[in-house]
Amino acid sequence: MLGVTDLPTYLAGLALIILLPGPNSLYVLSVAARRGVHTGYTAAAGVWCGDAVLMTLSAAGVASLLQANALLFGIVKYAGAGYLTWLAVGMLRAAWGLWQARRQPVAEGDTQAQEGAGERPFRRALVISLLNPKAILFFIAFFVQFVDPGYAYPALSFLVLGVLAQLASVLYLTALIFSGTKLSAAFRRRKRLSAGATSAAGALFLGFAAKLSLASG
């Protein structure tokens, strides 16, 4: 179909890949839990735009350039790791603030205003997606396995694979967003729980940063 081979295997692999936790999905879940469905989808839109850019770069051959140029790969890699670390530090600071204020009653609207001050979910999610050279390499390595080399229009094959990947991401992030909003009420009532969850998210982001910084091309 349109130069795509072994579609069932692609869909099965895609489902497994989408379900693996990563900084993108974790950030969307965190935003939805703190600020609700609308803001969760704003962050998810940043992920989808970032993934679309990475898929386009992969199809255009940028993945091969990164793989061949160790210096360029290193620059992008450490920039991504640094950004994830910066986000992690912000989460840990927010968790400490929540812990210090755990005995102070705060109105729901005030809590949301404090948590959302200065945060731009779309931009943050977009940058998290883009500053990940391993994702570019992954897209080209995974997609190319399901493109018929003899098909006259390989760009169309990449487009089909990309659209299917985005649809799977939409379904998965939607599930995360609505799961996160169910947690939001509990987080607002229980500041210790909120502080603990935010600390855990910050620690995971530090882990993602370390993993990216140690990655090889």
Domain membership of residue 70 (yes or no) is yes
Which tens digits make up the pLDDT trace of 174-208? 998 988 777 665 555 555 656 666 677 677 667 76
What is the count of structural domains for the chain? 1
Domain membership of residue 122 (yes or no) is yes
Check residue 215 and report its DSSP letter: -
Q: Residue 205's closest CA among 132, 98, 153? A: 132
- Which amino acid makes up residue 79? A
Domain membership of residue 130 (yes or no) is yes
State which residues form the domain around 65.
Answer: 22-213
Domain membership of residue 6 (yes or no) is no
Domain membership of residue 128 (yes or no) is yes
End-to-end CA gap in the chain: 32
Mean pLDDT of 8-30: 80
Beta bridge partners of 4: 147
**CA distance linking residue 145 with residue 166, whole number of Å:** 18
Which tens digits make up the pLDDT trace of 104-161? 554 444 444 444 556 689 998 998 888 876 677 667 667 767 777 677 777 788 888 8
